[in-house]
Structure 1
């Protein structure tokens, strides 16, 4: 009899000894880093067909094979050796609170509605269970593990398939934009707070502040310096700002806004935008207009560089009060998405 009332992760994962077979006529094999170009081409073809408001770059596909995670990928090739379908399973190392396995995949339009997608999902679920059961946390009983899939608002077939396998939508996100031709209000912060341009010298202090600011946000994990840099590979320094409290000799980071430039997404979006990747305000300074001042500074920087919109994503359950700030600054929702989860 176990001392704990809860089974270990390995016991809960119920990992199968064998993976389910994948359908003919495709030839299936594991994907490796040498397949990056073929995978990028397939994802590009799928996105050209489905026309989501983004495009995946080669660097982003290369991240599928990042050694800082446990991963497994499967690809279906036709008789001429062309990749026509894929599925990926990824478990990041280092997550402390919740172990999340992310699933992603895609199929050429000509192969849809033939059971290929269902077969790939079943393979992914089985492989995800194997990865969890063999992970460093396998013998822990107090660990929470989730299998996670991001679902755009216009992919009802995927949502239906996930629901049939026990997934449920657990988080909702809105994609917002703000027309930069609309006058930008003058928002200031009271002294001793100052909004200043981001500089490399303040970067690690911002990282540490981010880990504090997002401590109460679902799914957020503390970032190491290496993870911080990787998360901001598209960062634009001239579009990024920091709010500093200079009430003492040593300035404290009260808030920060880091922006990205995703030019490869603009044709799919239909407009140019400065994208607010990360916006955070430390608890001690919330309610003092820090977020609004950071956003308006960024808007002016975007507009000065000819951008048409300011864009960002927001969690519908964000506990910081940021959603109200966006509404007051004339952001509007353009799309939404959901995160489907299966708890193990």
Structure 2
């Protein structure tokens, strides 16, 4: 059994997230199901992946969490495996339930966020394990937010605890979240595009030019992403560390940026005060497409696919067909690489008009998901 999280030591400030989080001083691990509970260990990764796949299959999904995606959590910018994870084992030492919270960097943010994730093996459902596991995760999320209350730079910022579930997940999962105080706040659509259909030719006019994603342009691309997503719901700026995290599915051959050849950085501190990661003279990135490869899902899904994990255009450059040029170029690259589908996920209330663009380019909805939150 894990050691209870220590009491909060930060001195709360007026309008502090410490007060609003209403965090428990200690956490109770689940008692239902007669399982033995402890934090994750890195050697658990194969067994965790097997458990998650069993849970996801029972929930009707045809895409699954890969071992590499679990392993990279241990190197995340803000992750305390001893405090932020929990796994339940049966009498034979087999993993039967799991949960974790994901915390996010707070540099330059306007929202303090923690997400919760978990699951129970189908043979162990109906015993109350999920209810108690969600209570543990939500309590730990409240603690993580409350711990930020001693930072005066975060004074007055709102907080959010979120959970993301698929449309195929059982209705009981939605009921469980509602009973725990979560409410649905955002909806997402997974879109597919058949690559056997013709891809329209969409070019760029100088001084715009599409070039490969390279290490030399990583931070210039990060700053472009931060600008592009400033008006997206819930989005927060990426730090250097968080930008390079979660790259297990990253496919460099499917990733590209658009630069404005008439502009060079004077230094990134001129764009974002305090950020000196981009040296003077670096090409100015105005749009980006990050491709991802989920080969482990192709058999269960019944098709091969190139996945657009990130597509963005600087706000001052919208309306110049940059997103369309990036996406159609990606489609051609996917097809040349033998892929049958192009795939992506989109916020159905995306403020840039992206859903309409995807429809024009031939994408259709295959399934969707819902984000539930507790707003603090």
Same fold flag (TM > 0.5): yes
Shift of 1:309: 0.6
User: Runs of 5+ in structure 1 lacking a partner?
Assistant: none
2:259 maps to which residue?
Answer: 244
Cα shift readout 1:37-89 (whole Å, capped 9, x = no counterpart):
33222113223433413221222112343462244222221111111111212
Counterpart of 1:69? Answer: 78
Q: How many angstroms does 1:189 deviate by?
A: 2.1
For 1:264, the equivalent position in structure 2 comes to 296
Over aligned residue pairs, what C-alpha RMSD do you find? 2.3
Counterpart check, 1:15 vs 2:23: yes
2-structure distance, mates of 1:165, 1:45: 24
Structure 2: stretches of 5+ with no match in the other structure = 1-11, 265-280
Structure 2 CA distance for partners of 1:135 and 1:269, relative to 1, 3 Å: same
Partners of 1:283 and 1:320 in 2: CA distance: 9
Q: Are 2:148 and 1:135 aligned?
A: yes
Aligned equivalents of 1:307, 1:241: Cα separation in 2: 17
Equivalent position of 1:287 in the other structure: 319
Contact 2:33 2:127 in 1 (8 A): no
Measure the CA separation in 2 of the matches of 1:74 and 1:18.
Answer: 15
SS in 2 for 1:246: strand
Aligned residues: 341
Distance (Å, rounded) in 1 between the aligned partners of 2:52 and 2:292: 22
Give the secondary structure class of the aligned counterpart of 2:290: strand
Find 1:56's aligned residue among 65, 68, 92.
65
Q: How does 1:17-166 map to 2 (within 5 A)?
A: 17-22=25-30, 23-66=32-75, 68-71=77-80, 72-94=84-106, 96-135=109-148, 137=150, 141-155=155-169, 156-166=171-181
Q: When the two structures are superposed, what TM-score results if normalisation uses the length of structure 2? A: 0.84
Match of 2:205 among 190, 195, 208: 190
Aligned residue in 1 for 2:275:
none
* TM value normalised by structure 1: 0.91
State the alpha-carbon separation in 2 of the partners of residues 259 and 341 from structure 1. 28
* Distance (whole Å) between structure 1 residues aligned to residue 137 and residue 27 of structure 2: 9
Which is worse superposed, 311-320 or 51-60? 51-60
Q: Which residue of 1 aligns with 2:5?
A: none
Q: Distance in 1 between matches of 2:149 and 2:16?
A: 12
Distance of aligned partners of 1:138 and 1:111 in 2 relative to their CA distance in 1, 3 Å threshold: farther
TM-superposed CA distance for 1:118, in Å, is 0.8
8 A contact 1:70–1:93 mirrored in 2: no
Contact 1:170 1:341 in 2 (8 A): yes
